[in-house]
Every structure is written in C-alpha cells, then in structure tokens.
Amino acid sequence: MITGTTSIYGIIGSPVDHSFSPLMHNAAFAELKMDARYLAFSVKPENVSQAVDGIRALNISGVNVTVPHKSS
C-alpha cells in the first residue's frame, strides 16, 4: 500500500514495460521492511523536462533513467 509516508522511486524511459527494476527493487524493499515502492514511468522523449519537473514537485525520492533518455 502506498501512503503519504511511502518513499517513491522509479525508472523513466520509453518503453519501460519490459523493465525488471520494479520487481527487483520492490522485492528488496519488502525484504528490508521499507515503506517504499519502485514504479515504472513511461515518458516520451519530448516530455522528459516536464517529467523531471513532476518528479521534483511530487517529492519522488529518486529515479533511474533508461533508453532513450540516457543521452537527453
């Protein structure tokens, strides 16, 4: 369950549906009994700047960046 105190982490890219990062990180969070969740965010290249603004505005704890944004 995600609450107001849950730390949110994620991965941004396009596509991200194939990523094992959420499965891997959420398993680790559960094992460590952390109030944290890792989510996949599909972000088109033309929306990276707005996505970064949203990440900051929503106080998301951190994100990994994958293709095609690694060079953006």
Task: State the catalytic residues.
Answer: 70
Other beta carbons within 10 Å of 67: 11
Taking CA atoms, 42 is separated from 18, 34, 67, in Å, by 11, 25, 11
Question: Which regions of 1-72 does DSSP assign to beta strands (E)?
Answer: 7-13, 36-42, 62-65
